[in-house]
């Protein structure tokens, strides 16, 4: 009998198989990326639902939403009463307001131990809060972004956590005053969150299904130093909020106090490559009150947002600016419009 011959692929056949596999991978990769993006967006939506439910549980328990900031240390003393008194050992400076809504909502997202670790009689920056303010809670992280960031983690005094979810401070600015827009002035139309005091849902006269409660923010970082107020959700430097003055994922720079993120820490937000402090965006000075910060996300085409009725919707970047502003007011008496 003739010796048996072992069959094998020729070089051409191997190249054809490799080419087919490459084509299949090329076809499947966008689909896989799309599925991953959808899963991440779904997880983000779930976080916002959990935070919306937590806000309602806070309201059911304490008969009001959490204060946007526990205290107020800005110039508008005619609008907000003075800072909540503490024991004299706190150190809130004149350019920020102490303890944002983040701390108040912790017990209602199953983080009672994290909440009780805080000493609310003193500043968030006090040494008695050094351990508490380093805790990272995944509920405040959107999977499409780079994760919760450690802000000046090496400093025991200024350690912060940067996160992805911010509350609605209305349609104008952090100080909740009227704001010029070109030749016209936009009147502040109320908001579900403010300084010092909590707002009752019955005060949201525009309707809970027509008023934004929370939305998203892109975190600043990774960065070893202080990158400015943006996404600084644990202390009320303004970064715990968004305003509807600008549309979602606004292509211009956010208006911030003191420091705009260094180019390497901007994480995709607007701004050029200038290496100077504040880059090419600049700041609005020492006080955050005049600043307006857009809702931002890494989701293609828009942002997720929780309404005051607890529902979550996806709002596209192309939403009409006036509709977005209307959605961000609590007492604006605008028509009941939605995207």
Amino acid 26: pLDDT: 73
Q: Which two tokens stand for residue 325?
A: 């502003």
Residue 289 burial (C-beta neighbours within 10 Å; 0-12, 13-18, 19+): buried
Range of lowest pLDDT (216-230, 240-254, 276-290, 312-326):
276-290
Range of lowest pLDDT (50-54, 72-76, 129-133, 269-273):
72-76
Amino acid 278: pLDDT: 65
Amino acid 93: pLDDT: 46
Q: With a cut of 50, say whether residue 87 has pLDDT above it.
A: no
Q: With a cut of 60, say whether residue 283 has pLDDT above it.
A: yes
Q: What is the pLDDT of residues 175-184, one digit of tens each?
A: 999 999 988 9
pTM here? 0.86
Amino acid 89: pLDDT: 46
Q: How confident is the model at residue 110 (pLDDT cuts 50, 70, 90)?
A: very high
Percent of the chain with pLDDT over 70: 85
248-252 mean pLDDT: 96
Amino acid 120: pLDDT: 85
Half-sphere exposure (Cβ direction) of 107: Cα atoms closer than 13 Å:
12
Q: Are 270 and 204 in contact (CB under 8 A)?
A: no
Range of lowest pLDDT (23-37, 244-258, 277-291):
23-37
Amino acid 94: pLDDT: 43
Q: With a cut of 90, say whether residue 159 has pLDDT above it.
A: no
Range of lowest pLDDT (13-17, 46-50, 124-128, 137-141):
13-17
Q: How confident is the model at residue 10 (pLDDT cuts 50, 70, 90)?
A: confident
Distances (CA, A) of 138 to 110, 147, 334: 11, 9, 36
Amino acid 128: pLDDT: 84
Q: Are 206 and 329 in contact (CB under 8 A)?
A: yes
Ranges 65-79, 88-102, 323-337, most confident: 323-337
User: To the nearest whole number, what is the mean pLDDT of the chain?
Assistant: 86
CA dihedral angle for residue 145, residue 147, residue 151, residue 157, rounded to 10 degrees:
140
261-267 mean pLDDT: 89
Percent of the chain with pLDDT over 90: 54
Q: What is the pLDDT of residues 16-51, one digit of tens each?
A: 778 878 777 777 666 555 556 667 778 999 999 999
Q: Are 62 and 201 in contact (CB under 8 A)?
A: no
Q: Which two tokens stand for residue 243?
A: 């305003």
Q: Which one is predicted more confidently, 255 or 77? A: 255
Centroid of chain to Cα 62? 24
Domain range annotation of the chain: 13-327
Q: With a cut of 60, say whether residue 88 has pLDDT above it.
A: no
Q: Which one is predicted more confidently, 180 or 127? A: 180
């Amino acid at each position: 009998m003739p010796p048996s011959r072992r069959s094998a692929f020729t070089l051409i056949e191997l190249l054809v198989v490799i080419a087919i596999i490459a084509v299949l991978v090329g076809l499947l990769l966008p689909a896989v990326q799309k599925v991953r993006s959808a899963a991440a967006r779904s997880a983000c939506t779930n976080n916002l639902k959990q935070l919306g439910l937590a806000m309602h549980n806070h309201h059911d328990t304490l008969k009001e939403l959490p204060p946007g900031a526990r205290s107020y240390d800005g110039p508008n003393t005619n609008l907000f009463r003075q800072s909540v008194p503490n024991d004299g050992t706190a150190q809130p400076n004149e350019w920020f307001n102490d303890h944002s809504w983040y701390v108040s909502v912790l017990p209602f997202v199953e983080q009672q131990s994290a909440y009780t670790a805080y000493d609310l009689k003193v500043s968030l920056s006090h040494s008695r809060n050094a351990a508490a303010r380093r805790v990272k809670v995944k509920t405040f992280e959107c999977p499409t972004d780079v994760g919760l960031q450690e802000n000046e983690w090496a400093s025991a005094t200024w350690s912060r956590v940067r996160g992805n979810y911010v509350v609605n401070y209305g349609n104008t600015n952090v100080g909740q005053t009227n704001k010029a827009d070109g030749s016209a002035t936009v009147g502040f139309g109320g908001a579900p969150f403010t300084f010092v005091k909590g707002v009752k849902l019955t005060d949201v006269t525009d309707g809970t299904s027509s008023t934004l409660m929370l939305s998203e923010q892109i975190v600043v970082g990774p960065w070893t130093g202080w990158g400015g107020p943006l996404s600084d959700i644990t202390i009320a430097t303004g970064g715990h909020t968004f305003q509807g003055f600008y549309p979602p994922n606004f292509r211009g720079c956010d208006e911030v106090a003191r420091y705009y993120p260094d180019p390497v820490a901007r994480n995709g937000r607007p701004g050029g490559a200038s290496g100077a402090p504040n880059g090419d965006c600049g700041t609005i000075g020492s006080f955050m009150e005049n600043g307006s910060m857009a809702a931002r996300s890494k989701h293609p085409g828009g942002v997720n947002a929780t309404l005051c009725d607890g529902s979550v919707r996806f709002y596209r970047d192309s939403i009409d600016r006036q509709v977005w502003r209307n959605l961000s007011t609590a007492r604006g008496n605008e028509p009941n419009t939605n995207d």
